[in-house]
Chain A
Amino acid sequence: MLKKTLIATLATGLICSTAAVQAEGIKQGGTLTVPIVNTGFVDNYNPYTTKDLLHGIMFEPLMVFNNMTGETDFRLAESFAFSDDLKTLTVKMRDNLKWSDGTPLTAEDVAFSFLLTKDVPAFDQKGIWSGKNLKSITTPDEKTVVFELNEADSTFAWNLERYHIVPKHIWSKVDDLTTFTNPNPVGSGPMTEVKFLKPQQMELCRNPNYYLEGRPYLDCVNFRSYNDNSQIQPALIKGEIDWGSNFIADVEATFVEKDKANNHFWYPANDAIHLYVNTKKAPFDDLRVRQALSMALDRETIVDIAAYGYPTVNYNVGGIAELYKSHIDQGVNKKYGNLTQYDAEKAKALLDEAGLVDKNGDGYRDNLDGSDISFDIEVVNGWTDWIQVVQMVTEYFDEVGIKANVKTVDWAVYDKNLKESNYTMSINWSLVATHPILAYQEYFSTSRIGKTWHAGHGVNSPEIDKLIDTFGKIGDPQKQEAIISELQEYTAENMPFIPLFSNATWFQYSTKKVVGWPSEKDPYVQPVWYDGGKRVIILNNLHLK
């Protein structure tokens, strides 16, 4: 007995000491410097009116849905569970949560934070109130928050991540929340103390009452204001900032070369970029034409030259790409795979088959009725890499005899045309969300037509509408995956858009002073700077070298 206890004690002692050694290995302290593209800093710490700067830094989210690992990272919340009828969501908070001023953080603060977005609709980030499905929020005890829904919705929990949990004891005393600048801010995130605020710089330092022991390792985060990308590039090259999240031209030559040991970048796939086609306009109402145009494109070369090789080529035909890797149905990709393979001859053959030939001898194919085919592909003025992409696309279309033009338009015009289906072809992104079902909702749900950019292509069906609606009523993940597969098949079959590539997640980092970054070797989270949830995970992992 004694022996066992001895061994046990020794073993524990050993483990403890190794843990202690490890904990000792990670230095405490240090400052992280990050760039922000804005017009300067002002004395405003209201997370809702500061363009999402403070989420995940000053204010901790309830939980984070990590799309890269597929797991849910619980932060302030400990767990959540749906009732069997999927109409009640119960969220359990952690024990002993405190605000940075020492006051306890309870379920009351959480309920208050959600209720205030009902009074101030401008703060209702995910539309939980405007969607009219949320009936009530109650707090049966200090640690529990219960959301009552009108209809079953298994997707409801995904909305919770984006809302800011604010201290009731301060915010309930404010008259006008929209102009509230939250001076002397109290938060629950890793960096809550304002060290200083200058017009071009802001420094926030660690929360003395952060709920995670020993975290954050870093002491402070220093924000620097820049006009635009062209200003960030030299700062990154000179080593003035540690973490870059913007497009940098020729990143290998200008950044990595300067310090091969410490300067790195990693561009995992982000949202999928497609050429949306207006399927109601001839000749694009013919599926064969859309398929032919898809086969006419050499995606590798386009990505290489027009987009500098940074994005990930998208060969997936089901409407979702590498961002939602775990949900991609490889069977669908196999069945329809040829649609995204570069084959100009096949494209020409398909176009011939569709009856689009050159009737008047001008070198370009014409419509069935004899009129010239000449259309505009819309792109926003100033988005230069996309302009270059579209320019190359028109070159490839040219090679199969289809005349297309680049049309740069003002953002407002582009936005309106996409929503009102006023375009012929337009390059646009797809939705980045916790789960691809939301992307499909944006693509096909008839209720989204006129409200969103991705729904104007004209490919819909009442069955698909029903299918998407039933998703919220299903709790079984396997049944959910089956629905996603069916949606992928529908997309590949009907081709409402031509997939191009997945946008790159811009992420440059320097390991000169700070380490703990996510990388290709250690992909613990998608390195998206402007997403508070992902930001808080990274921030908590960074420490001095």
Chain B
Amino acid sequence: MSFLVRRFGFYFTAFLIAISFNFMLPRLMPGDPVDALFAAAQGRMDPAQMDAVREMYGFVDGNIFEQYFAYIKSVFTLDLGPSVLMFPVSVSDVIANALPWTMFLALGSLIVALIIGVSIGTYASYRREGFFGQVVPPVLAFISNFPYIVTALLLFYFFGLKLEVLPLAYTYDPSLDPGFTWEFISSVAKHAVLPVGSMVIVGISTWVFNMRNAMINVLGEDYVTMAEAKGLSTYRVMSRYAGRNAILPVATAIAMAIGFSFAGSIMTEVVFNYQGLGNILLKGIVARDYPLIQAILLILVSAVLTANFIADLLYVWLDPRISN
């Protein structure tokens, strides 16, 4: 129990550090949102207007400490202010619209990669000497390690442009209304194939190898031989004895991957114009929308911290040695 308390304390401290860093970052950057608006307007904005617009968005200079505490307070009360990019919609609303799609993408690709990867990894460990075990893992390693952007571009080019079988952009057909209609759901599914597909291709080798190596290590252990000698069925050996132990490192890896896949979906969202957090983050950066950038970074950090904490919980639950 004290282990968990200590871990929680650590995560909380890390969170505070992250928030402070988050606060400093935009202020270290040259230019502010009004300058960015000015750039976009290419001189059609009167310079005298700029100060007035600044005030409107709330970028008044105050004592840096006052600003800092106001910021900390806003984080914990979730009152994150209006977004410059989509004024006067509040940052929380902008994020609330985009977050579900990022989660859909991140978790969806993770689950698909997991299922496929773990199955292939297990089978490859079982059929080590056969064709499957020898050829499939290296081939997957090769393809999986193309830089993500390359995989995304290749998919985009071949399936989107050349063959035109799958849509190139958006989360769903823009003319449809969100709702639980078959039309909407199938549109979402169709638009998710390429983005999720690209993320799966890149992520799959980790699971294949994790599972395969873990299984092979475990299969060589004495207690497995003992179980086989006892005459237990292959299935029982694999799941109850080998699997249970092999799953430990994999489980913690999953929890961490959840956290990181949120961050990793940025590239996907940009290439496929998916309306998720990463996409909005990039636009926010270009427009110097500080409130938005800070809020999104905050969410990403929280996701990773939470996932790590869950990984620790899992570790305790699955490995009795630690809790004792």
Are A and B direct contacts in the complex by CB distance below 8 Å?
Answer: yes
Which A residues form the contact surface with B (CB < 8 A)? 39-40, 42, 44, 49, 51-52, 120-122, 124-127, 130-131, 178-179, 181, 198-201, 224-227, 231, 234, 380, 410-413, 415-416, 429, 431-432, 451-453, 530
Whether B62 sits at the interface, judged by CB under 8 Å, is: no
Whether B46 sits at the interface, judged by CB under 8 Å, is: yes
Whether B88 sits at the interface, judged by CB under 8 Å, is: yes
Assuming the contacts A125-B49, A200-B174, asked whether A411 and B36 have C-beta atoms less than 8 A apart, the reply is yes
Which of A120, A199, A412, A451 is B275 in contact with, Cβ under 8 Å? A199
Whether B110 sits at the interface, judged by CB under 8 Å, is: no
Specify which chain B residues have a CB less than 8 angstroms from the CB of A40 in the assembled complex.
Answer: 86, 97, 275
Residue of A nearest to B173 (CB): A200
Residue of A nearest to B47 (CB): A451
A121-B48, A413-B31, A415-B31 known, 17 other contacts, Cβ within 8 Å? A39-B86, A39-B283, A44-B88, A52-B44, A122-B55, A124-B48, A127-B46, A130-B48, A131-B48, A179-B82, A201-B175, A227-B270, A227-B273, A231-B273, A410-B31, A412-B31, A412-B32
Nearest CB of A to B161, in Å? 8
Q: Mark B139-169, 1 if CB is under 8 A from A, else 0.
A: 0000000000000000000000100000011
C-alpha gap A57/B48 in the complex (Å): 26
8 of the cross-chain contacts (CB-CB < 8 Å) are: A39-B85, A122-B53, A127-B48, A200-B275, A227-B169, A231-B273, A234-B169, A412-B36
The 5 closest A-B pairs by CB, nearest first: A412-B31, A121-B52, A200-B174, A122-B52, A130-B48
Nearest CB of B to A532, in Å? 11
Within 8 A of A (CB), among B14-52: 29-32, 35-36, 38-40, 42-49, 51-52
Which of B46, B82, B174 is A126 in contact with, Cβ under 8 Å? B46
Whether B8 sits at the interface, judged by CB under 8 Å, is: no
C-alpha gap A126/B52 in the complex (Å): 13
Whether B180 sits at the interface, judged by CB under 8 Å, is: no
- Total residue contacts A-B, CB cutoff 8 A: 100
Whether B131 sits at the interface, judged by CB under 8 Å, is: no
Whether B170 sits at the interface, judged by CB under 8 Å, is: yes
Which B residues form the contact surface with A (CB < 8 A)? 29-32, 35-36, 38-40, 42-49, 51-53, 55-56, 82, 85-89, 97, 161, 168-170, 174-175, 177, 270, 273, 275, 279-280, 283, 288
Specify which chain A residues have a CB less than 8 angstroms from the CB of B29 in the assembled complex.
Answer: 412
In the complex, which of the residues A179, A231, A411, A429 has the most CB atoms of chain B within 10 Å of its own CB atom? A411
Residue of A nearest to B289 (CB): A39
Nearest CB of A to B177, in Å? 7
Nearest CB of B to A64, in Å? 15
Question: When the two chains form their complex, are residues A198 and B177 in contact, meaning their CB atoms are under 8 A apart?
Answer: yes
Assuming the contacts A178-B56, A429-B42, asked whether A127 and B49 have C-beta atoms less than 8 A apart, the reply is yes
Residue of A nearest to B30 (CB): A412
C-alpha gap A431/B45 in the complex (Å): 11
C-alpha gap A133/B102 in the complex (Å): 52
Specify which chain B residues have a CB less than 8 angstroms from the CB of A42 in the assembled complex.
Answer: 86, 89
Which of B31, B82, B280 is A411 in contact with, Cβ under 8 Å? B31
Residue of B nearest to A180 (CB): B88
C-alpha gap A127/B44 in the complex (Å): 12
Specify which chain B residues have a CB less than 8 angstroms from the CB of A453 in the assembled complex.
Answer: 43
Nearest CB of A to B122, in Å? 40
Specify which chain A residues have a CB less than 8 angstroms from the CB of B55 in the assembled complex.
Answer: 122
Specify which chain A residues have a CB less than 8 angstroms from the CB of B40 in the assembled complex.
Answer: 51
Assuming the contacts A40-B275, A200-B174, A410-B30, asked whether A415 and B46 have C-beta atoms less than 8 A apart, the reply is no
Specify which chain A residues have a CB less than 8 angstroms from the CB of B49 in the assembled complex.
Answer: 121-122, 124-125, 127, 130
C-alpha gap A471/B175 in the complex (Å): 52
Specify which chain A residues have a CB less than 8 angstroms from the CB of B86 in the assembled complex.
Answer: 39-40, 42
Specify which chain A residues have a CB less than 8 angstroms from the CB of B47 in the assembled complex.
Answer: 451-452
Residue of B nearest to A125 (CB): B46
Specify which chain B residues have a CB less than 8 angstroms from the CB of A178 in the assembled complex.
Answer: 56, 88
